[in-house]
Structure formats: structure tokens, C-alpha cells
Amino acid sequence: MSDDLDDIILAELSDEELTLQMHDDLYDGLKDEIEESVHILLGRGWMPYDVLTKALVEGMRIVGIDFRDGILFVPEVLLAAGAMKGGMIILKPLLAETGAPRMGKMVIGTVKGDIHDIGKNLVTMMMEGAGFEVKDLGINNPVENYLEALESEEFDILGMSALLTTTMPYMKVVIDTMVEKGMRDDYTVIVGGAPLNEEFARAIGADAYCRDAAVAVETAKEFMAKKHNQMTA
Amino acid sequence: MAARIDDAALTERGLDAPGDPIGGRVLLLACGALAREVLAVIKINRLSHMDLTCLPANLHLYPEKITERVREAVLEHRDHYRQIFVLYADCGTGGMLQKECEALGVKMLAGPHCYSFFEGNETFAAHDDEITAFYLTDFLVRQFEAFFWKPMGLDRHPELLPMYFGNYEKLVYQAQTDDNTLKELAKTYADRLGLAYEYRFTGYGDLAKSLRDFS
């Protein structure tokens, strides 16, 4: 996006200019610049939550739109995600200290037999950016891992990921086991991965199929809003 | 027909069907990644009543597009051929291609993907210790740069390598032909990806059986 980065001294930009520059730098996957800018904004007294939402999440939102529209591709998204992660590492401990709003809690993991985690990692990062607390179980998870995690703390959402046609049916094993144990209705279950679609999600009894990380965040927010409405009704 | 085969073209554009088929021929509608192998099976088994057309192999970078492209190709060619056989496995379509082929009344290959049917679907399914294996076929060795390295941005951003391949442990080269040049190349790619290397000769596996059965 930016052609004249060498001429820009980040510390000399106004808050508004720097925020816009961070959107550009995220788009360009410039991790060092993002980390520097995060420190600058914090040094100016910005709340960590504002740095997260106004600079990082908004920047990744733009990246997500251009990925969806075929303007950006996976490598560029991964570079942007790497830059955002750099900023998140700085902000995460500060967010906890400053009492940033929490949207909900999620367990996420790639299913048994599957080692692919790029999509899952993007979802994890975007969910954290949106204010969700996420427990990431990693890859190759048997049903026991999901159940153990769900029973260990109070969670709202279970997310499962699979990249292979041969591993995606395992999501049904997890959901069926949750039904058997009478715990299915306690959670919103969202699923994602390249070979999945809405029809499959419905067929296995998931609540939603999320085609990308941005959709996962919006879907999770909608379910949390519904849950709060039900609790207050 | 072999003279028309060009790997880069098979990746980017596919392969056109021969014009004006005469009298009850069968069309094989294949992924570009299978063209050489299909032509070899046709030749070995003298399946001279079969024509081949291919969709671009790089559709695999966008598996959600495969089903629609296959559907369009079947509709384009079905009036000119007695039968059409779709030479795709599920290929990441999550069962959608199978469903579409059933709706169109055409058969397709069994199995999840070419790594499986080249080795034999039953044999491949019996591997329960290979979830960390990254597979290459003859075609994918020849097209490694165009199919993986460049689309993944690794030519420009090698720092992304751990994000893509960090969970893999070995590269398995499933060879359809005994070719020392390809063996050396595959080993080079394993080294480049930081993976252990395993050579496994498969021949044409279930692809050959499926074509013979269909004929």
C-alpha cells in the first residue's frame, strides 16, 4: 500500500495519521513497524483496548475484506497476521491488566487426523482481537481433548477446524458425543475449513459454518448477543 | 496426443478436448495434474476409444471452484460423447463434486484425492501414521514451483515456511514412473521444506483400474 515508507517517521505522525499508517503497515505485513507503532500509541497514553480495536483489528478487517474479494491472497494475509501478532503480543498482558471488555470464551482446535492450522490460527487471533478469550487446543485433537477442555472451565463457543475431506467427518463424532453427554446445548458450535460448507455444518449438527476468520468473529458475536438477550429476557 | 502435453499449460489452462469426436467415444474429463498418467494408461491398455480433456490443475488452489468447473465442462461436452468419466476424486470439495456428478449422471473416481488413488485407496486409508506426510506425485514434482512455492508466496517470503509446513515431518514422493531426475528433484524439495524424504513407487494405482473398469 505504501511506497514511501523510508520517508515516514512513525513517531512524528499524529494519532490519526499513525492509526491509518498502521492499517497500511498491517496490509503490507510490516511487523517491526506495527510493533513500533503500538509502543508509540501506548506511550501517548492510549488504552491498550483502543490500540487493539482502532489500529490492529480495523487494519485486519480491511485485510479480510480484500482477501474475501480476491484482492489479497493467503501469503499476504499470513504476513498481515504475523504483523498483527507482533502487536498482540505487546498488548495481551496489558489488556488483562486494564480490564478490557470480554466478549466470551471459546475452545478451538483442529480435529483428529488433521495437522492443518493456518485457518484455525487466524480465527484464534481474530477472535482474541475481537475480545474473546480463546483456548487453542492445537492440531490432531481426539474428542476427549475437546470435552476435557470444555469441562475444565466455563466456555461459550466450541470451534473446530479441518482441511481434509477425510478428517472433516470427525466433527460429527465430537458433536454426537456432546449430545450423548447432554452438553451439546450448552455451547455454540462453529466449524470451518476449506472443504466444508453450510450444508455439511447443518448435517453434522453444528450451529454455523464460517468460511473465514472474519465470518467466525461476526458469527461468534451474534451468538453471544443472542445468549445475552436470552439471559436478560 | 503426447506432443500437446505441457506441464505449465496443464497447471494454468488445462487441455482441450479433440475437436469433432466421431461415433460413440468416451470423454475423460480430468484434472490437469493427471494428463500424462491418463494418456499412459490409455496407451498401455489400448483404450483408443477414449479422449482426454483437462481442467487446469491449479483449480486445486481453489477447491471450491472445482465442482462448478466440472459441471460446466460436462454440460459442454455431453452431447458429443457417448459417456463422460470425471477423473477427479473428492479433491477437497467436501462431497459436493460427488453430489454434482450424481445429479449429472456421470461417474467419477473414488477416493479423497490423487495421493490416495495412486497408492490405491485401500492401502492409503490403512496408513494411520502419516498425518504429518506431505505428498508429491510426478506432476507435482515437475510443477512444485508453480503449484506450491510461488502461490504460497515462499519465493518472496521464505519466512512463511514454518506457518505452512511447521506441522509436517516428511515428504513422500509417490512416483508414477521410475525417473531419477524427478527423484533428485523431490529430494531437493524435501530439503528445502526441512522435511525427511521418502520415495514410494506407486505406478498408476487405482487410476489404471478405474479406467479399465470404465472401458
Domain-by-domain residue ranges, chain B? 7-109, 116-201
- The predicted pLDDT at position B140 comes to 96
Please give the share of chain A, as a percent, with pLDDT higher than 70.
Answer: 97
Q: Which amino acid is at B86?
A: V
Residue whose C-alpha cell is 494475509: A77
**pLDDT at B144 exceeding the cut of 90:** yes
Mutate to test the interface with B, among A111, A165, A170 (most CBs of B within 10 A): A165
Check residue B79 and report its DSSP letter: G
Tens digits of residue pLDDT in B13-56 = 898 888 777 778 999 999 999 999 999 999 999 999 999 999 99
Torsion of CA A12, A17, A23, A29, to 10 degrees: -20
Cβ within 8 Å, pair A195-B94: yes
- The predicted pLDDT at position A90 comes to 97
Mean pLDDT of chain B: 93
Cβ within 8 Å, pair A113-B131: yes
Q: For chain B, say whether A68 makes contact (Cβ under 8 Å).
A: no
Sequence-distant (≥ 6) Cβ neighbours of residue B97 within 8 angstroms = B66, B67, B70, B86, B88, B90, B91, B108
**pLDDT at B3 exceeding the cut of 50:** no
Domain B7-109 bears CATH identifier 3.30.200: no
Of A78, A117, A196, the CB nearest to B160: A78
**pLDDT at B96 exceeding the cut of 50:** yes
- The predicted pLDDT at position A6 comes to 63
- The predicted pLDDT at position B75 comes to 97
Contact B147, B120 (CB under 8 A): no
Q: Using CB atoms and an 8 Å cut-off, which of residues 18-77 of chain B contact chain A?
A: 63-64
User: How many H-runs (helices) and E-runs (strands) does chain A carry?
Assistant: 10, 5
Of A73, A115, A168, the CB nearest to B132: A115
Tens digits of residue pLDDT in A116-138 = 999 999 999 999 988 899 999 99
- The predicted pLDDT at position A102 comes to 84
- The predicted pLDDT at position B1 comes to 45
What are the strands of the beta sheet with A157-161, ordered from one edge?
A132-136, A104-110, A157-161, A188-192, A208-209
- The predicted pLDDT at position A33 comes to 97
Could you report the predicted ipTM of this complex, rounded to two decimals? Answer: 0.86
Of B94, B112, B163, the CB nearest to A197: B94
Q: What residues in A contact B93, CB-CB < 8 Å?
A: 165, 195
- The predicted pLDDT at position A3 comes to 52
Please give the share of chain B, as a percent, with pLDDT higher than 70.
Answer: 98
Nearest partner of A79 among B215, B152, B37, B176, judged by Cα: B152
- The predicted pLDDT at position A45 comes to 97
* Residue B136: CA count within 13 A, CB half-sphere: 30
- The predicted pLDDT at position B128 comes to 79
Is pLDDT larger for residue B3 or for residue B209?
A: B209
- The predicted pLDDT at position B23 comes to 72
- Helix/strand/coil percent split, chain B, to 5: 50, 15, 35
Q: Which residues of chain A have pLDDT under 70?
A: 1-6, 232-233
Of B93, B153, B167, the CB nearest to A195: B93
What are the two backbone dihedrals, phi and then psi, of residue B27, each rounded to the nearest 5 degrees? -105, 130
Contact A66, A216 (CB under 8 A): no
**pLDDT at B4 exceeding the cut of 70:** no
Tens digits of residue pLDDT in B160-209 = 999 999 999 999 999 999 999 999 999 999 999 999 999 999 999 999 99
Instruction: Tell the burial category of B75 from Cβ atoms under 10 Å away from its Cβ (0-12, 13-18, 19+).
Output: exposed
Q: What residues in A contact B151, CB-CB < 8 Å?
A: 73-74
